[in-house]
Structure 1
Amino acid sequence: MSSALSLTAMQWFGLLHPVLIILFVYPVVGATIRLGTLARERRLQINPLPASVPVEHAEHGRWVAGGVLVAVLIAFFHSYLAAWFEASPGGLAGVGRLVALALAELGTVVIYLRLLKVRRPAARALLGLACWLALLLLGAQPEINRLTDNPFDADFWRSHYWSGVLLSGLLLASVAAKPEIARHLSMRRLHVYANVLVAVLLAVQAITGTRNLLAA
Protein backbone atom coordinates (compact mmCIF):
# COMPACT_ATOMS: atom_id res chain seq x y z
CA MET A 1 0.00 0.00 0.00
CA SER A 2 2.70 2.51 1.00
CA SER A 3 4.79 1.82 -2.12
CA ALA A 4 1.71 2.27 -4.35
CA LEU A 5 1.05 5.68 -2.83
CA SER A 6 4.65 6.92 -3.00
CA LEU A 7 5.39 9.68 -5.49
CA THR A 8 8.60 10.69 -7.22
CA ALA A 9 10.01 14.19 -6.88
CA MET A 10 8.75 15.04 -10.39
CA GLN A 11 5.25 13.83 -9.51
CA TRP A 12 5.24 16.01 -6.39
CA PHE A 13 6.39 18.93 -8.54
CA GLY A 14 3.56 18.15 -10.97
CA LEU A 15 1.06 18.51 -8.12
CA LEU A 16 2.30 22.03 -7.31
CA HIS A 17 0.31 23.61 -10.16
CA PRO A 18 -3.14 22.23 -9.20
CA VAL A 19 -2.48 22.68 -5.49
CA LEU A 20 -1.68 26.37 -6.02
CA ILE A 21 -4.86 26.82 -8.02
CA ILE A 22 -7.04 25.00 -5.49
CA LEU A 23 -5.59 26.41 -2.27
CA PHE A 24 -4.86 29.97 -3.42
CA VAL A 25 -6.48 31.03 -6.70
CA TYR A 26 -10.02 29.69 -6.21
CA PRO A 27 -10.44 31.07 -2.67
CA VAL A 28 -9.13 34.49 -3.77
CA VAL A 29 -11.50 34.39 -6.76
CA GLY A 30 -14.40 33.96 -4.33
CA ALA A 31 -13.23 36.91 -2.24
CA THR A 32 -12.75 39.01 -5.40
CA ILE A 33 -16.30 38.33 -6.56
CA ARG A 34 -17.68 39.22 -3.14
CA LEU A 35 -15.68 42.47 -3.01
CA GLY A 36 -16.80 43.31 -6.54
CA THR A 37 -20.43 42.94 -5.47
CA LEU A 38 -19.82 45.17 -2.45
CA ALA A 39 -18.02 47.74 -4.63
CA ARG A 40 -21.07 47.91 -6.89
CA GLU A 41 -23.37 48.34 -3.88
CA ARG A 42 -21.19 51.20 -2.67
CA ARG A 43 -21.15 52.86 -6.09
CA LEU A 44 -24.96 52.66 -6.33
CA GLN A 45 -25.27 53.85 -2.71
CA ILE A 46 -27.13 50.68 -1.76
CA ASN A 47 -24.79 50.05 1.13
CA PRO A 48 -22.66 52.68 2.96
CA LEU A 49 -19.36 50.83 2.66
CA PRO A 50 -15.87 52.31 3.15
CA ALA A 51 -13.88 53.64 0.20
CA SER A 52 -11.36 50.84 0.68
CA VAL A 53 -13.74 48.22 -0.77
CA PRO A 54 -13.11 48.97 -4.50
CA VAL A 55 -9.38 49.15 -3.80
CA GLU A 56 -9.46 45.75 -2.09
CA HIS A 57 -11.45 44.33 -5.01
CA ALA A 58 -8.78 45.51 -7.47
CA GLU A 59 -5.96 44.19 -5.28
CA HIS A 60 -7.60 40.78 -5.02
CA GLY A 61 -7.98 40.76 -8.81
CA ARG A 62 -4.26 41.38 -9.13
CA TRP A 63 -3.55 38.46 -6.81
CA VAL A 64 -5.81 36.19 -8.88
CA ALA A 65 -4.07 37.16 -12.13
CA GLY A 66 -0.64 36.78 -10.54
CA GLY A 67 -1.55 33.43 -8.99
CA VAL A 68 -2.80 32.05 -12.30
CA LEU A 69 0.30 33.35 -14.08
CA VAL A 70 2.66 31.68 -11.60
CA ALA A 71 0.66 28.44 -11.68
CA VAL A 72 0.81 28.34 -15.48
CA LEU A 73 4.56 28.97 -15.47
CA ILE A 74 5.05 26.19 -12.91
CA ALA A 75 3.07 23.79 -15.11
CA PHE A 76 5.12 24.79 -18.14
CA PHE A 77 8.42 24.26 -16.34
CA HIS A 78 7.28 20.89 -15.06
CA SER A 79 6.67 19.85 -18.68
CA TYR A 80 10.07 21.21 -19.77
CA LEU A 81 11.83 19.44 -16.91
CA ALA A 82 10.03 16.12 -17.46
CA ALA A 83 10.92 16.17 -21.16
CA TRP A 84 14.55 17.00 -20.34
CA PHE A 85 14.84 14.08 -17.90
CA GLU A 86 13.28 11.77 -20.48
CA ALA A 87 15.58 12.93 -23.29
CA SER A 88 18.85 12.91 -21.38
CA PRO A 89 18.59 11.03 -18.07
CA GLY A 90 21.54 11.93 -15.90
CA GLY A 91 23.19 13.97 -18.67
CA LEU A 92 23.74 17.65 -19.40
CA ALA A 93 22.44 17.67 -22.98
CA GLY A 94 19.86 20.38 -23.47
CA VAL A 95 20.53 22.02 -20.10
CA GLY A 96 21.25 25.35 -21.84
CA ARG A 97 17.78 25.36 -23.39
CA LEU A 98 16.24 24.47 -20.03
CA VAL A 99 18.02 27.41 -18.39
CA ALA A 100 16.90 29.71 -21.22
CA LEU A 101 13.28 28.66 -20.70
CA ALA A 102 13.59 29.24 -16.94
CA LEU A 103 14.96 32.73 -17.59
CA ALA A 104 12.13 33.42 -20.04
CA GLU A 105 9.61 32.44 -17.35
CA LEU A 106 11.35 34.72 -14.87
CA GLY A 107 11.18 37.51 -17.42
CA THR A 108 7.42 36.95 -17.77
CA VAL A 109 6.99 37.42 -14.02
CA VAL A 110 9.08 40.61 -14.20
CA ILE A 111 6.82 41.94 -16.96
CA TYR A 112 3.77 41.29 -14.79
CA LEU A 113 5.31 43.02 -11.79
CA ARG A 114 6.14 45.98 -14.01
CA LEU A 115 2.53 46.03 -15.23
CA LEU A 116 1.40 46.57 -11.65
CA LYS A 117 3.57 49.68 -11.37
CA VAL A 118 3.02 51.66 -14.58
CA ARG A 119 0.30 54.32 -14.88
CA ARG A 120 0.15 55.31 -18.54
CA PRO A 121 -2.65 53.46 -20.40
CA ALA A 122 -0.51 52.67 -23.45
CA ALA A 123 2.28 51.25 -21.28
CA ARG A 124 -0.18 49.12 -19.31
CA ALA A 125 -1.75 47.78 -22.50
CA LEU A 126 1.66 47.01 -23.98
CA LEU A 127 2.92 45.24 -20.86
CA GLY A 128 -0.29 43.23 -20.47
CA LEU A 129 -0.07 42.12 -24.10
CA ALA A 130 3.66 41.36 -23.75
CA CYS A 131 2.98 39.19 -20.69
CA TRP A 132 0.28 37.24 -22.53
CA LEU A 133 2.43 36.83 -25.66
CA ALA A 134 5.25 35.54 -23.46
CA LEU A 135 2.87 32.86 -22.13
CA LEU A 136 1.89 31.94 -25.69
CA LEU A 137 5.54 31.69 -26.72
CA LEU A 138 6.42 29.54 -23.72
CA GLY A 139 3.35 27.38 -24.34
CA ALA A 140 4.26 26.92 -28.00
CA GLN A 141 7.30 24.82 -27.04
CA PRO A 142 7.16 21.15 -28.12
CA GLU A 143 7.18 19.92 -24.51
CA ILE A 144 3.73 21.43 -23.85
CA ASN A 145 0.72 19.19 -24.48
CA ARG A 146 -1.85 21.40 -26.23
CA LEU A 147 -3.87 18.52 -27.78
CA THR A 148 -4.17 20.55 -31.00
CA ASP A 149 -3.59 24.08 -32.27
CA ASN A 150 -6.51 23.91 -34.71
CA PRO A 151 -9.58 25.82 -33.42
CA PHE A 152 -11.76 23.83 -35.85
CA ASP A 153 -10.80 20.60 -34.10
CA ALA A 154 -12.96 19.51 -31.14
CA ASP A 155 -9.82 18.77 -29.10
CA PHE A 156 -8.96 22.47 -29.20
CA TRP A 157 -12.01 23.22 -27.05
CA ARG A 158 -11.20 20.34 -24.71
CA SER A 159 -7.63 21.50 -24.22
CA HIS A 160 -6.61 22.42 -20.68
CA TYR A 161 -3.83 24.52 -22.19
CA TRP A 162 -5.94 26.68 -24.48
CA SER A 163 -8.64 27.42 -21.92
CA GLY A 164 -5.89 28.33 -19.45
CA VAL A 165 -4.22 30.67 -21.92
CA LEU A 166 -7.52 32.43 -22.64
CA LEU A 167 -8.20 32.68 -18.88
CA SER A 168 -4.77 34.23 -18.33
CA GLY A 169 -5.33 36.73 -21.12
CA LEU A 170 -8.65 37.90 -19.69
CA LEU A 171 -7.18 38.32 -16.21
CA LEU A 172 -4.19 40.25 -17.55
CA ALA A 173 -6.54 42.50 -19.54
CA SER A 174 -8.50 43.29 -16.37
CA VAL A 175 -5.33 44.20 -14.51
CA ALA A 176 -4.09 46.39 -17.38
CA ALA A 177 -7.44 48.20 -17.70
CA LYS A 178 -8.07 48.69 -13.97
CA PRO A 179 -8.11 52.56 -13.96
CA GLU A 180 -10.38 52.65 -17.03
CA ILE A 181 -12.76 50.14 -15.43
CA ALA A 182 -13.03 52.37 -12.37
CA ARG A 183 -13.73 55.50 -14.44
CA HIS A 184 -16.03 54.37 -17.26
CA LEU A 185 -19.40 52.62 -17.06
CA SER A 186 -18.91 50.94 -20.45
CA MET A 187 -15.62 49.45 -19.26
CA ARG A 188 -17.24 48.20 -16.04
CA ARG A 189 -19.91 46.46 -18.07
CA LEU A 190 -17.29 44.90 -20.34
CA HIS A 191 -15.37 43.86 -17.20
CA VAL A 192 -18.46 42.08 -15.85
CA TYR A 193 -19.10 40.27 -19.15
CA ALA A 194 -15.44 39.23 -19.40
CA ASN A 195 -15.46 37.89 -15.88
CA VAL A 196 -18.55 35.79 -16.50
CA LEU A 197 -16.39 34.11 -19.14
CA VAL A 198 -13.56 33.93 -16.58
CA ALA A 199 -15.89 32.05 -14.20
CA VAL A 200 -16.79 29.59 -16.98
CA LEU A 201 -13.12 29.09 -17.84
CA LEU A 202 -12.24 28.46 -14.19
CA ALA A 203 -14.84 25.69 -14.15
CA VAL A 204 -13.47 24.31 -17.43
CA GLN A 205 -9.96 24.39 -15.97
CA ALA A 206 -11.11 22.43 -12.92
CA ILE A 207 -12.73 19.77 -15.12
CA THR A 208 -9.98 19.41 -17.73
CA GLY A 209 -7.24 19.60 -15.09
CA THR A 210 -8.82 16.76 -13.11
CA ARG A 211 -9.23 14.80 -16.35
CA ASN A 212 -5.53 15.23 -17.16
CA LEU A 213 -4.45 14.16 -13.68
CA LEU A 214 -6.59 11.01 -13.87
CA ALA A 215 -5.24 10.21 -17.33
CA ALA A 216 -1.59 10.68 -16.31
Structure 2
Amino acid sequence: MELTDFISLIHPALAVIFVFPLIGNVSNFAWQARQRRLQTADKKKSKIPAVAGPEHRRFGNWLTGSVVGLTLIGLAYPIFTDNIIKNKLWFKAPFQAIFIVLMFVATITSLVFLYKAKQALWRGIFATLTGAGLVILGSQDGVFRRTNEWYWSHYYYGIAAALLMVFSLAIVPEIYRDRKNRWRIIHTILNTFALLLFIGQGMTGARDLLEIPLSWQKPYVFQCDFQNKTCLPNNPPNQQSMLNINSNSNY
Protein backbone atom coordinates (compact mmCIF):
# COMPACT_ATOMS: atom_id res chain seq x y z
CA MET A 1 0.00 0.00 0.00
CA GLU A 2 1.14 3.51 -0.80
CA LEU A 3 0.98 6.44 1.62
CA THR A 4 -2.14 7.78 -0.07
CA ASP A 5 -3.87 4.43 0.53
CA PHE A 6 -3.07 4.55 4.24
CA ILE A 7 -4.38 8.12 4.45
CA SER A 8 -7.64 7.00 2.83
CA LEU A 9 -8.14 4.55 5.72
CA ILE A 10 -8.20 7.32 8.36
CA HIS A 11 -11.89 8.04 7.78
CA PRO A 12 -13.19 4.44 8.10
CA ALA A 13 -10.74 3.66 10.92
CA LEU A 14 -11.98 6.58 13.03
CA ALA A 15 -15.56 5.55 12.32
CA VAL A 16 -14.95 2.05 13.65
CA ILE A 17 -12.74 3.04 16.59
CA PHE A 18 -14.58 6.12 17.89
CA VAL A 19 -17.89 7.00 16.21
CA PHE A 20 -19.73 3.69 16.20
CA PRO A 21 -18.92 2.94 19.88
CA LEU A 22 -20.26 6.43 20.68
CA ILE A 23 -23.45 5.64 18.78
CA GLY A 24 -23.90 2.53 20.93
CA ASN A 25 -23.40 4.50 24.15
CA VAL A 26 -25.75 7.29 23.09
CA SER A 27 -28.44 4.81 22.08
CA ASN A 28 -28.08 2.87 25.32
CA PHE A 29 -28.34 5.96 27.54
CA ALA A 30 -31.23 7.27 25.44
CA TRP A 31 -33.18 4.07 26.06
CA GLN A 32 -32.36 4.12 29.78
CA ALA A 33 -33.34 7.78 30.13
CA ARG A 34 -36.66 7.16 28.41
CA GLN A 35 -37.44 4.09 30.52
CA ARG A 36 -36.63 5.97 33.71
CA ARG A 37 -38.80 8.91 32.62
CA LEU A 38 -41.75 6.59 31.90
CA GLN A 39 -41.35 4.74 35.19
CA THR A 40 -41.17 7.99 37.12
CA ALA A 41 -44.29 9.27 35.38
CA ASP A 42 -46.15 6.11 36.48
CA LYS A 43 -45.09 6.75 40.10
CA LYS A 44 -42.82 3.70 40.04
CA LYS A 45 -39.43 3.42 41.64
CA SER A 46 -36.88 3.07 38.87
CA LYS A 47 -33.72 1.01 39.18
CA ILE A 48 -32.16 3.01 36.36
CA PRO A 49 -29.73 5.59 37.80
CA ALA A 50 -30.62 9.26 37.43
CA VAL A 51 -27.30 9.85 35.68
CA ALA A 52 -28.65 8.18 32.51
CA GLY A 53 -30.14 11.47 31.24
CA PRO A 54 -27.05 13.65 31.75
CA GLU A 55 -24.82 10.91 30.33
CA HIS A 56 -27.03 10.68 27.25
CA ARG A 57 -26.62 14.40 26.71
CA ARG A 58 -22.87 14.31 27.32
CA PHE A 59 -22.23 11.43 24.93
CA GLY A 60 -24.64 12.99 22.44
CA ASN A 61 -22.57 16.18 22.40
CA TRP A 62 -19.45 14.12 21.76
CA LEU A 63 -21.22 12.21 19.01
CA THR A 64 -22.21 15.37 17.15
CA GLY A 65 -18.65 16.69 17.13
CA SER A 66 -17.29 13.27 16.14
CA VAL A 67 -19.74 12.83 13.26
CA VAL A 68 -19.12 16.32 11.88
CA GLY A 69 -15.36 15.89 12.27
CA LEU A 70 -15.45 12.48 10.61
CA THR A 71 -17.50 13.92 7.74
CA LEU A 72 -14.99 16.71 7.23
CA ILE A 73 -12.13 14.19 7.18
CA GLY A 74 -14.02 12.04 4.70
CA LEU A 75 -14.54 15.08 2.45
CA ALA A 76 -11.02 16.46 2.87
CA TYR A 77 -9.27 13.39 1.47
CA PRO A 78 -10.89 13.35 -2.02
CA ILE A 79 -11.06 17.15 -2.24
CA PHE A 80 -7.35 17.60 -1.61
CA THR A 81 -6.03 14.50 -3.39
CA ASP A 82 -8.35 14.33 -6.41
CA ASN A 83 -9.03 18.04 -6.85
CA ILE A 84 -6.53 20.44 -5.32
CA ILE A 85 -3.37 18.35 -5.73
CA LYS A 86 -4.21 16.30 -8.83
CA ASN A 87 -5.70 19.25 -10.73
CA LYS A 88 -3.04 21.67 -9.39
CA LEU A 89 -5.79 23.96 -8.18
CA TRP A 90 -3.33 26.17 -6.26
CA PHE A 91 -1.89 27.29 -9.60
CA LYS A 92 -4.90 27.07 -11.94
CA ALA A 93 -7.58 28.49 -9.61
CA PRO A 94 -5.95 29.78 -6.41
CA PHE A 95 -9.07 31.63 -5.25
CA GLN A 96 -11.10 28.43 -5.42
CA ALA A 97 -8.44 26.55 -3.46
CA ILE A 98 -8.36 29.29 -0.81
CA PHE A 99 -12.17 29.26 -0.67
CA ILE A 100 -12.19 25.51 -0.01
CA VAL A 101 -9.67 25.83 2.82
CA LEU A 102 -11.60 28.73 4.33
CA MET A 103 -14.81 26.68 4.15
CA PHE A 104 -13.19 23.94 6.24
CA VAL A 105 -12.07 26.53 8.78
CA ALA A 106 -15.47 28.26 8.81
CA THR A 107 -17.37 24.99 9.28
CA ILE A 108 -15.21 23.94 12.22
CA THR A 109 -15.44 27.42 13.76
CA SER A 110 -19.24 27.45 13.38
CA LEU A 111 -19.49 24.10 15.16
CA VAL A 112 -17.33 25.36 18.03
CA PHE A 113 -19.53 28.44 18.44
CA LEU A 114 -22.64 26.24 18.26
CA TYR A 115 -21.43 24.39 21.35
CA LYS A 116 -20.94 27.70 23.17
CA ALA A 117 -24.09 29.55 22.01
CA LYS A 118 -26.84 30.02 24.60
CA GLN A 119 -29.51 32.00 22.79
CA ALA A 120 -31.79 30.19 20.35
CA LEU A 121 -31.10 32.71 17.58
CA TRP A 122 -27.34 32.19 17.67
CA ARG A 123 -27.70 28.43 17.95
CA GLY A 124 -29.85 28.53 14.81
CA ILE A 125 -27.31 30.72 12.99
CA PHE A 126 -24.29 28.57 13.85
CA ALA A 127 -26.17 25.34 13.14
CA THR A 128 -27.15 26.70 9.73
CA LEU A 129 -23.58 27.79 8.99
CA THR A 130 -22.21 24.39 10.02
CA GLY A 131 -24.73 22.54 7.87
CA ALA A 132 -24.16 24.87 4.92
CA GLY A 133 -20.41 24.31 5.19
CA LEU A 134 -20.86 20.53 5.03
CA VAL A 135 -23.13 20.78 1.98
CA ILE A 136 -20.86 23.24 0.15
CA LEU A 137 -17.76 21.14 0.78
CA GLY A 138 -19.63 18.02 -0.27
CA SER A 139 -20.44 19.62 -3.63
CA GLN A 140 -16.78 20.14 -4.52
CA ASP A 141 -15.06 18.25 -7.33
CA GLY A 142 -13.38 15.03 -6.30
CA VAL A 143 -16.10 13.91 -3.87
CA PHE A 144 -17.72 10.66 -5.01
CA ARG A 145 -21.43 11.13 -4.40
CA ARG A 146 -23.08 8.30 -6.36
CA THR A 147 -25.90 10.70 -7.22
CA ASN A 148 -27.51 8.26 -9.65
CA GLU A 149 -28.01 5.95 -6.64
CA TRP A 150 -28.58 8.59 -3.96
CA TYR A 151 -30.83 6.22 -2.04
CA TRP A 152 -27.83 3.88 -1.53
CA SER A 153 -25.06 6.47 -1.34
CA HIS A 154 -22.53 6.59 1.48
CA TYR A 155 -22.09 10.30 0.86
CA TYR A 156 -25.77 11.25 1.09
CA TYR A 157 -26.32 9.03 4.14
CA GLY A 158 -23.33 10.66 5.84
CA ILE A 159 -24.34 14.25 5.06
CA ALA A 160 -27.91 13.60 6.19
CA ALA A 161 -26.73 12.01 9.45
CA ALA A 162 -24.30 14.88 10.12
CA LEU A 163 -27.03 17.48 9.52
CA LEU A 164 -29.35 15.65 11.91
CA MET A 165 -26.62 15.60 14.55
CA VAL A 166 -26.07 19.35 14.15
CA PHE A 167 -29.80 19.98 14.45
CA SER A 168 -30.01 17.77 17.55
CA LEU A 169 -27.22 19.72 19.21
CA ALA A 170 -28.92 23.02 18.41
CA ILE A 171 -32.27 22.06 20.00
CA VAL A 172 -30.94 20.49 23.22
CA PRO A 173 -31.81 23.52 25.43
CA GLU A 174 -35.31 23.65 23.92
CA ILE A 175 -35.89 20.02 24.89
CA TYR A 176 -35.34 20.83 28.56
CA ARG A 177 -37.50 23.98 28.44
CA ASP A 178 -40.48 22.46 26.61
CA ARG A 179 -42.96 21.14 29.17
CA LYS A 180 -45.17 19.63 26.47
CA ASN A 181 -42.30 17.47 25.19
CA ARG A 182 -42.81 18.50 21.58
CA TRP A 183 -39.10 19.10 21.02
CA ARG A 184 -38.30 15.82 22.77
CA ILE A 185 -40.61 13.93 20.41
CA ILE A 186 -39.02 15.64 17.40
CA HIS A 187 -35.58 14.79 18.79
CA THR A 188 -36.55 11.13 19.26
CA ILE A 189 -38.03 10.74 15.77
CA LEU A 190 -35.15 12.43 13.96
CA ASN A 191 -32.47 10.56 15.88
CA THR A 192 -34.20 7.24 15.32
CA PHE A 193 -33.95 8.04 11.62
CA ALA A 194 -30.31 9.07 12.15
CA LEU A 195 -29.63 5.68 13.77
CA LEU A 196 -30.96 3.97 10.64
CA LEU A 197 -28.68 6.20 8.55
CA PHE A 198 -25.69 5.15 10.68
CA ILE A 199 -26.57 1.51 10.08
CA GLY A 200 -26.72 2.30 6.37
CA GLN A 201 -23.36 4.04 6.70
CA GLY A 202 -21.81 0.86 8.02
CA MET A 203 -23.15 -1.13 5.07
CA THR A 204 -22.37 1.40 2.33
CA GLY A 205 -18.96 2.15 3.82
CA ALA A 206 -18.02 -1.54 3.77
CA ARG A 207 -19.25 -1.75 0.17
CA ASP A 208 -17.20 1.27 -0.91
CA LEU A 209 -14.04 -0.12 0.68
CA LEU A 210 -14.48 -3.20 -1.49
CA GLU A 211 -15.04 -1.11 -4.62
CA ILE A 212 -12.22 1.44 -4.21
CA PRO A 213 -8.96 0.02 -5.65
CA LEU A 214 -5.48 0.73 -4.33
CA SER A 215 -3.69 3.63 -5.99
CA TRP A 216 -1.46 1.39 -8.13
CA GLN A 217 -4.49 -0.65 -9.26
CA LYS A 218 -6.59 2.30 -10.45
CA PRO A 219 -5.15 2.61 -14.01
CA TYR A 220 -6.13 -1.00 -14.71
CA VAL A 221 -9.39 -1.17 -12.77
CA PHE A 222 -10.77 2.04 -14.27
CA GLN A 223 -10.41 0.52 -17.74
CA CYS A 224 -13.13 -1.97 -16.84
CA ASP A 225 -16.65 -1.73 -18.24
CA PHE A 226 -18.63 -0.98 -15.07
CA GLN A 227 -21.93 -1.02 -16.95
CA ASN A 228 -21.47 -4.58 -18.21
CA LYS A 229 -19.28 -5.61 -15.25
CA THR A 230 -16.44 -6.93 -17.41
CA CYS A 231 -12.68 -6.37 -17.48
CA LEU A 232 -10.25 -7.16 -20.27
CA PRO A 233 -7.00 -8.92 -19.30
CA ASN A 234 -4.10 -6.48 -19.30
CA ASN A 235 -1.45 -9.11 -20.02
CA PRO A 236 -3.10 -12.14 -21.66
CA PRO A 237 -1.08 -15.30 -21.01
CA ASN A 238 0.82 -16.71 -23.99
CA GLN A 239 0.24 -20.17 -25.34
CA GLN A 240 3.32 -21.69 -23.64
CA SER A 241 2.18 -20.39 -20.24
CA MET A 242 -1.25 -21.93 -20.77
CA LEU A 243 0.34 -25.27 -21.64
CA ASN A 244 2.44 -25.16 -18.46
CA ILE A 245 -0.66 -24.39 -16.38
CA ASN A 246 -2.61 -27.24 -17.97
CA SER A 247 0.23 -29.72 -17.49
CA ASN A 248 0.60 -28.78 -13.82
CA SER A 249 -3.13 -29.08 -13.24
CA ASN A 250 -2.92 -32.82 -14.11
CA TYR A 251 -1.16 -33.38 -10.80
Whether the 8 Å contact between 2:29 and 2:56 is mirrored in structure 1 is yes
- The answer to whether structure 1 residue 116 and structure 2 residue 126 are counterparts is no
The 3-state SS of whatever aligns with 1:164 is helix
* Map of 1:64 onto structure 2: 63
Deviation at 1:167, TM superposition (A): 0.6
Please tell me whether residue 27 in structure 1 is matched to residue 25 in structure 2: no
Task: Report what 1:193 is aligned to.
Answer: 189
Residue 180 to residue 30, structure 1, CA distance change in 2 (3 Å): same
Contact 1:65 1:175 in 2 (8 A): yes
What are the superposed Cα offsets for residues 12-44 of structure 1, whole Å, 9 maximum, x if unpaired? 111111111111111011111111122223333
Q: Is the 8 A contact 1:115 1:127 kept in 2?
A: yes
CA deviation string 1:144-194 (max 9, x = no partner): 11122xxxx5x1212211111111111111100001122331211111111
Following superposition, the deviation at residue 48 of structure 1 comes to 5.3
Kindly, what percent of the aligned residue pairs are identical? 27
Question: What's the CA shift for 1:104?
Answer: 1.8
The answer to whether the 8 A contact 1:73-1:105 is kept is yes
**Paired residues of 2:107 and 2:134 also in contact (CA < 8 A):** yes
- In the alignment, is the contact (CA less than 8 A) between 1:112 and 1:131 conserved in 2? yes
- What residue identity is the alignment partner of 2:122? A
Q: Please, which moves more after superposition, 51-60 or 155-164?
A: 51-60
Pair member with larger Rg: 2
One-letter code of the match for 2:185? R
* Aligned pairs (5 A) from 1:85-124: 85-88=85-88, 93=91, 96=94, 97-124=96-123
Aligned to 2:224: none
Runs of at least 5 residues in structure 1 that lack an aligned partner in the other structure: 1-6
Q: CA deviation at 1:214?
A: 0.8
1:73 aligns with 2:69: no
Letter in 1 for 2:120: P
TM-score, normalization by structure 2: 0.74
- Show the 5 A alignment for 1:164-175: 164-175=158-169
The equivalent residue for 2:130 is 131
Query: Hey, what does 2:173 align to over in structure 1?
Result: 179
TM-score of the aligned structures, taking structure 1 as reference length: 0.86
Distance verdict in 2 for CA 1:95–1:63, change over 3 Å? farther
Closer/same/farther in 2, CA of residues 212 and 38 from structure 1, 3 Å limit: same
1:102-128 deviations in Å (ceiling 9; x for gaps): 332122111111101111112112211
Q: Distance in 1 between matches of 2:160 and 2:193?
A: 10
Judging changes above 3 Å, is the alpha-carbon distance between structure 1 residues 207 and 50 closer, same or farther for their aligned structure 2 residues? closer
| CA contact 2:161–2:194 (8 Å) conserved in 1 | yes
d(CA) in 1 for partners of 2:162 and 2:97?
A: 23
In the alignment, which residue of structure 1 is the partner of 2:227? none
Which residue in the other structure is 1:4 paired with?
Answer: none
CA RMSD in angstroms, aligned pairs only: 2.0
Q: Against the structure 1 CA distance between its residues 13 and 47, is the aligned structure 2 distance closer, same or farther, given a 3 Å change threshold?
A: same
Q: Hey, what's the Cα distance between the residues in 2 that align with 1:95 and 1:53?
A: 51
The answer to whether the 8 Å contact 1:180/1:187 transfers is yes
Match of 1:208 among 193, 204, 208: 204
For 1:110 and 1:133, how far apart are their aligned partners in 2?
Answer: 13
Question: What residue is the counterpart of 1:156 in the other structure?
Answer: 150
**Number of residues of Structure 1 aligned to a counterpart in Structure 2:** 203
Structure 2 stretches of 5 or more lacking a match?
213-251
